[in-house]
Chains A and B, each alone.
Chain A
């Protein structure tokens, strides 16, 4: 795969624009600020998928035999499955043989100091505080570039607290017992089509282990970036919080602008034992494609948390502004008595973006509680669907759910859809669902403008107010970033 040629293609496209249009080009480029390609030698597999590819990936990563077998079992299961069709999405046929299942920067880094300076530059551009900046910001970062993890900061400081935060590949090598015990225990290999594919070919991801009684001393964070063309990204993240442990984890994602669709099929598994809590926040800014729906990431992700222990708590917070298509339902299985699951989401679709996203709250334990706050924003021709399941099983005495689902429409050609599924098998359950759909009204726009606020700023102001409840749940720096992302993503939505 020749990365340099893709980079040149972008430049060539810009060169045809006449000088008078520089400002427009500039504005267009600003719309997706992460849309650059890093010119770096990569080592990638040719496109195609068979057992040989699965074995090659496993071997290349130096995995033990059980891991190879686990992957092969997933692959064989995947062959019997079909791509899900129930979502309200129009997805072009995906040729799984045209995708390259592994791409890595050629020089494998051994420590952060050996990381290719160009890579570090990339993360600098993205605002990832990988190097010294990490220390100032006090955030430990694991950065995944294409398929492999390129370095984890703050390793030593975390180790002193007994926290393990490393790449998945490393965890398989260094902590095989932990990985073997928990991997696939929340999202089994055959859970769904994309999870099965991920289980077969996952190339890296992050691994977090917080031992009993430990409160993780800092926010943990992973930055994912797809750089190489024609590649898929299949990372797998596993977070385990033992009894009484707690952790807050953030992930951010970007990709260059390309006119092909690229597949991102990740799996995230969270396990919270007795009294443990995990807070998982995502700011997703994958390349959304252009105004006409050409290119962009297919973001087909399975995220699930298991509140395995009593009084455990899992909170998902997501701000989804990117991707051509999003298919994602971060869920909580409330197995432990008195456990709590929360889902706070902002999903934005502009131009031709489509999102079918929501959550599942499965109440199994007694007195389990869940809360869902979902905010959908549609602009341009964007289609935004909330799909959520609240299920109260037979033994879930005293289960309680509150769902609030709000949609905001900007313009006349977009759509918002809500599909709430509620299944209750215990009479003591209390399940509430509130939904609203609103538009940014001409009245609101005129009111803001008559006070001196420009049209675009008025839209971001109103959208920001609409999302307030969710932004409040994000760590401070991420809330600021999320707000900026929404502003950039909504440029040109009005007028």
Chain B
């Protein structure tokens, strides 16, 4: 589904990703871990198409197309979703209205029929029930005045509603208490599906107790330096990122 090869990305003139390669197949959950400044968020932003991220080398193939050629809204319609580390407030715009606009814009682009408000609300109710969310979130403006936890929950809710094929979660666990963390994890687990891939970017192993990944990758200094199964996350937790750095240096030497 997703094949990243030798990706080099510059942000503000500085090279952040320095030859990152990663392959994710439908049905898989990949965890990306790494120290601050390793380029984790850059990866998420590049996949979603944020401006200011200059790809100087390498390729990203998604569903047999060149993802890097698509506009952000085209990527969304093609099934790419980024759960933001810092979700953005849009004052005065009703959350439900926003989501319906987004969903219908995607459907229109894919040549599918748009949902009317009855069909849309039915879908909303279903997703709310699965995520155990209160519908109070729906009546407020997009992220306006939301607590940190509410914003992250809203991201998961959006993901559930938009049903992407490739979901990238950018430090969705940061700043969450244990209950909110469980809720986010439950949401992701409920959506695990043979046709869907997840890339879960996180700083801490904690989230991976709840979302059990198929693969764990360590991102350091702009590239994947170590890949393994879920036990890799536990090793990292035990030894810290310095351990990987040492091994990498040793390996290189």
A450 pairs with B109, CB closer than 8 A: no
> Within the assembled complex, what's the spacing in Å between the Cα atoms of A447 and B102?
11
The residue in chain B whose Cβ has the minimal distance to the Cβ of A468 is B92
> Within the assembled complex, what's the spacing in Å between the Cα atoms of A126 and B92?
29
Check A219 for interface membership: any CB of B closer than 8 A: no
A461 pairs with B88, CB closer than 8 A: no
B73 pairs with A442, CB closer than 8 A: no
Tier of interface size on chain A: 20 to 34
Closest 3 CB pairs of A and B: A465-B92, A465-B93, A452-B76
Residues of A within 8 A of B141 (CB): 465
Interface string of A443-458 (1 = CB under 8 A from B): 1101111111111010
Main secondary structure of the interface of A (DSSP, over half): helix
16 A-B pairs within 8 Å (CB atoms) are namely: A441-B88, A446-B50, A446-B88, A447-B90, A450-B48, A450-B82, A452-B76, A453-B105, A455-B73, A464-B92, A464-B93, A465-B92, A465-B142, A467-B92, A468-B92, A469-B92
- Candidate in B50, B51, B102 with the most chain A CB atoms within 10 angstroms: B102
**A421 to chain B: closest CB distance in Å?**
28
> Within the assembled complex, what's the spacing in Å between the Cα atoms of A475 and B99?
25
- Candidate in A442, A446, A452, A466 with the most chain B CB atoms within 10 angstroms: A452
A449 pairs with B92, CB closer than 8 A: no
A466 pairs with B92, CB closer than 8 A: yes
A454 pairs with B73, CB closer than 8 A: yes
Check A49 for interface membership: any CB of B closer than 8 A: no
> Which residue of A451, A464, A469 contacts B158 across the interface (Cβ within 8 Å)?
A451
Tier of interface size on chain B: 20 to 34
Residues of B within 8 A of A461 (CB): 90, 93, 98, 101
Residues of A within 8 A of B84 (CB): 447, 450
The residue in chain A whose Cβ has the minimal distance to the Cβ of B91 is A465
Listed in ascending order, the chain B residues whose CB lies under 8 Å from chain A are 48-51, 71-73, 75-77, 81-82, 84, 87-88, 90-93, 98-99, 101-103, 105-106, 109, 141-142, 158, 162
Instruction: Identify which of residues 445-495 in chain A touch chain B, using a CB-to-CB cut-off of 8 Å.
Output: 446-455, 457, 461-462, 464-469
The residue in chain A whose Cβ has the minimal distance to the Cβ of B71 is A449
Listed in ascending order, the chain A residues whose CB lies under 8 Å from chain B are 441-444, 446-455, 457, 461-462, 464-469
- Candidate in B51, B93, B99 with the most chain A CB atoms within 10 angstroms: B93
Residues of B within 8 A of A444 (CB): 88, 90
A446 pairs with B51, CB closer than 8 A: yes
> Within the assembled complex, what's the spacing in Å between the Cα atoms of A449 and B71?
8
Residues of B within 8 A of A457 (CB): 101, 105
